[in-house]
Structure 1
């Protein structure tokens, strides 16, 4: 079953365009000299805002991890330069008439970087490992429950892992049984959680697996070198054992963690790196540069409220007040200044159209939570009365980069100013630590985000169901659960009914003030004209590096 074309119509706005030639300004130098390029081959140098939290496909949960996993590994399919599913380890597949059985034919020339063939058994092992409760994967149960047969029961410890609906029919045929017909399943197979794993290698490495370069195997375009879990730099090196190595033009991609925007700018201007993210104070200065580019994204940023660690946040009126008490238009226009837009719902703008009319989902669903100071104060007063207090103290958790620092300081100031009696204390930590605090529910309020894993509203809506592996808020509503669940079961093949349920569920989510929408991101960058063939995906790994190349300036 091929993914419906309408699911992919919006990818065009999210592809990183080929950049115009440099104007010849001598102050803008390319990274690396010709001597360097002859010595090292084709090399591009990039920055990253944080260290890679995990290179274990079963445990990865964040953007940096999935970007590097996508560069070094490959699933049954991968997204191509047009954001469509292209052959990966699978060369083809067939789907039964009822849509429940998918049979994948695997290529016989796919290899691991140690020379072992990539087989159907590697997929069976990896998928079982991802839903095994002993693994502790967040994404395995989230991505597979309700999709792969028995995944939900296995993740709850009710069935053995060998009951998962995936089996090898010989070395190069993989048979997958679905719980329900899933229109977007082909796109799911491009995602990191569904990558294969070499069982012998993983079990030999034990607790050391995926902790550094020496304890990793690759089956994708690149291998990773000079990396450990605490590294602030690493390289992606062309994988000569990759089945499609002839397509990979780059010999090496280097990455360096830099959190300070001025340091990043200095590195770019001296030609040491080929791409950098611009903060709001730099956008106006460089918006007329030939190297300036803005990429629209489908990341939704929101405030998460932990209802289990704060009596105040367990109160719906308090959450509703906070959701409406900060000016999002000023935030994106003044604090971010990078093309991001204020968000008044969960599903991003220009992400997916309604199945019958083609109208954008966000437009149809409308503005559900807007900045409204009068309403915020009314909700606040009700909440304080219900709590029997006139003051509330909250800790606000966020990442420790400068852009986030400016953003959370703005939001905290707005909340403290607009809601009398509210004191907000900011806690900024490295991203990996924030993710740990999040999954352990050791926070009160935090700035978080979600980037879609596949091109369907379910990737956002399933986050907040009671049993979701990513719902670390304490939020639970049976009505919301049923609305979302029915989109994957009762209405799995009825596109109109599915989307009507999504519309209803989104309204319930914000009537409950489960989260507070903040903004939908865009990325303003300086990108060297030499960078070619690096694409921005609307879902899954943000960057696709397989087709990267160095062009003439």
Structure 2
């Protein structure tokens, strides 16, 4: 998900939180309660164009205002969406989806197979410049389409009439059904895209929706908007909320005050607030399949130096960062892949791929490597700017990193630039940074969702780190070894170790976010991987 560039990530922001709740309850339990939920967001909403969305907040909004062939429910269970049924060929390379005939867009148009064909072609069209186009890897002819060698019409998706859709793969994809519940694969209304042109997805009014809710009140730059029940949604009888109001508060002090005054039903908490409120009945800690990390701009000569990269990594006390700065169960990173995401034979991937290099704290080694790195560069000192978000939490993280690095690496000066989330994403994507505090949330429960990011040609590899052996292993895990679970696992473990040993990036911590959610808010689905929130069947009880 989520970059958290998906932002991060989409997997991507530094302090997004919520609550995994089960049990939808009966209508009678909520019929006398005003069904309006007031939700806090830590950062602004960048876009509603699913072809260009990259971050957690955009994907949360798209996941609840749009719907794909399938829908991802509790515990990442795949459920029917616009497709009422599907079948898979014996060789696993062809999926045939039967679409429901009562699905409509918010403008009254029928949702058809052609809407999916149009959407997928638009996303993989090189002219669109979608950073998430790489997720279409495995769809027939996608590589040639992305390279401009074949037209988008060659993509392995075909509409057989209005309500039958066939997808052809070039290789087996173990996570294909999960992808069908991810916003990048949702349909788009061609009429709306062409009508709004460059304005499409830039404000609530420049969109049409086929999901449980539709958006109102978002101008493209404001910090308040709403999702209201979509009366054209095919399954509207199971949508209990009339409205969800979103309010951006980058200060946890502000959001907590609004929560206390009952203007918010949910708020994230700072480490200090979490300590004080841990016994509150509304307190919870949200676990995320998300890694926060530092990314170097390796177009700059100082960060092409491996010893400089390693010195920066060894100078950071991740345990202290996780426990004292973040708190609430946040874990020091063992590598780029988050703990608990995937297991094989009872062994967690993060443990299988762990190395002493890449994530250890060693002040003496850090100082020595930095000294050696500077000598190789022919310099006596180094200065760089650390780019990060402007939320309260992000500022604490960058301030801590600045202090650690300057204290442990003599001759280093770190300037900090905290900017709005949307700005940080843009600068990262355009290579306008020295070192950036990034984050990534897994798009689905598989290590490849992290490892894919750092291949040489991945659009999310903003730092441009490159390693031929790493690329070879990741490619093998998705091609020649895709059908061999053991070989595929070993490929990914080896790749992760290379990333750590070469210090391609600096993994920091796995975010677990403390928050408050009123105890009468029920039925919110939160998944650690993929899109974070599903409010389709959420409601407020008495």
Aligned partner of 1:505 among 495, 500, 524: 495
The match for 2:135 is 143
Aligned partner of 1:277 among 268, 274, 287: 268
- State yes or no: 1:116 paired with 2:116: no
Counterpart of 1:524 in 2: which secondary structure? strand
The match for 1:130 is 123
CA separation of 1:18 and 1:187: change in aligned 2, threshold 3 A: closer
Aligned partner of 1:56 among 34, 49, 52: 49
Partner Cα separation in structure 1 for residue 504 and residue 154 of structure 2: 35
Aligned partner of 2:239 among 248, 255, 262: 248
- Equivalent positions of 1:456-535 (< 5 A) are 456-535=446-525
1:311 Cα offset (Å): 1.8
Counterpart of 1:313 in 2: which secondary structure? helix
The match for 1:27 is none
Aligned partner of 2:181 among 160, 173, 190: 190
| 2:390/2:419 contact within 8 Å kept | yes
- Equivalent positions of 1:290-301 (< 5 A) are 290-301=281-292
Q: Calculate the TM-score normalised by the size of structure 1.
A: 0.91
1:344 Cα offset (Å): 2.4
| Aligned positions, number | 518
Deviations 1:145-171 (A, max 9, x none): 2x2111122112221111111111111
The match for 1:221 is 212
Counterpart of 2:347 in 1: which secondary structure? coil
- Equivalent positions of 1:289-368 (< 5 A) are 289-308=280-299, 310-354=300-344, 357-368=345-356
Partner Cα separation in structure 2 for residue 15 and residue 225 of structure 1: 24
- State yes or no: 1:432 paired with 2:422: yes
Partner Cα separation in structure 2 for residue 92 and residue 444 of structure 1: 49
1:374 Cα offset (Å): 2.5
| 1:295/1:523 contact within 8 Å kept | yes
Q: Which moved more, 1:395-404 or 1:152-161?
A: 152-161
The match for 1:165 is 156
1:322 Cα offset (Å): 0.6
1:15 Cα offset (Å): 6.9
Counterpart of 1:320 in 2: which secondary structure? helix
Aligned partner of 2:91 among 85, 88, 98: 98
| 2:291/2:511 contact within 8 Å kept | yes
| 2:354/2:497 contact within 8 Å kept | no
Counterpart of 1:425 in 2: which secondary structure? strand
Counterpart of 2:304 in 1: which secondary structure? coil
Counterpart of 2:386 in 1: which secondary structure? strand
1:381 Cα offset (Å): 2.1
Counterpart of 1:312 in 2: which secondary structure? helix
Partner Cα separation in structure 1 for residue 98 and residue 141 of structure 2: 23
Counterpart of 2:302 in 1: which secondary structure? coil
| 2:22/2:525 contact within 8 Å kept | no
Aligned partner of 1:233 among 221, 224, 229: 224
Partner Cα separation in structure 2 for residue 445 and residue 411 of structure 1: 11
| 2:19/2:284 contact within 8 Å kept | no
Partner Cα separation in structure 1 for residue 265 and residue 92 of structure 2: 45
1:358 Cα offset (Å): 2.7
1:294 Cα offset (Å): 0.8
- State yes or no: 1:546 paired with 2:539: no
| 1:279/1:338 contact within 8 Å kept | no
Residue segments in structure 1 that go unaligned for 5+ positions in a row: 1-13, 20-36
Q: Calculate the TM-score normalised by the size of structure 2.
A: 0.93
- State yes or no: 1:373 paired with 2:360: no
The match for 2:395 is 405
Partner Cα separation in structure 2 for residue 97 and residue 482 of structure 1: 29
Deviations 1:238-288 (A, max 9, x none): 111111101111000100111111111111111111000000121111111
Deviations 1:442-485 (A, max 9, x none): 10101000001111111111100011111111211111101000
CA separation of 1:18 and 1:189: change in aligned 2, threshold 3 A: closer
- State yes or no: 1:450 paired with 2:440: yes
1:367 Cα offset (Å): 4.1
Partner Cα separation in structure 2 for residue 540 and residue 107 of structure 1: 24
CA separation of 1:154 and 1:194: change in aligned 2, threshold 3 A: same
The match for 2:66 is 73
| 1:51/1:229 contact within 8 Å kept | no
Counterpart of 1:371 in 2: which secondary structure? coil
Partner Cα separation in structure 1 for residue 22 and residue 95 of structure 2: 37
Partner Cα separation in structure 1 for residue 405 and residue 101 of structure 2: 58
Counterpart of 1:348 in 2: which secondary structure? coil
Counterpart of 2:477 in 1: which secondary structure? helix
| 1:52/1:64 contact within 8 Å kept | yes
Greater RCO (Cα-Cα under 8 Å, separation 6 or more)? 2
Partner Cα separation in structure 2 for residue 313 and residue 66 of structure 1: 32
Partner Cα separation in structure 1 for residue 142 and residue 420 of structure 2: 32
| 1:398/1:429 contact within 8 Å kept | yes
1:122 Cα offset (Å): 0.5
Counterpart of 1:70 in 2: which secondary structure? helix
The match for 2:166 is 175
Deviations 1:70-99 (A, max 9, x none): 010001111113420000011121111221
Partner Cα separation in structure 1 for residue 149 and residue 501 of structure 2: 34
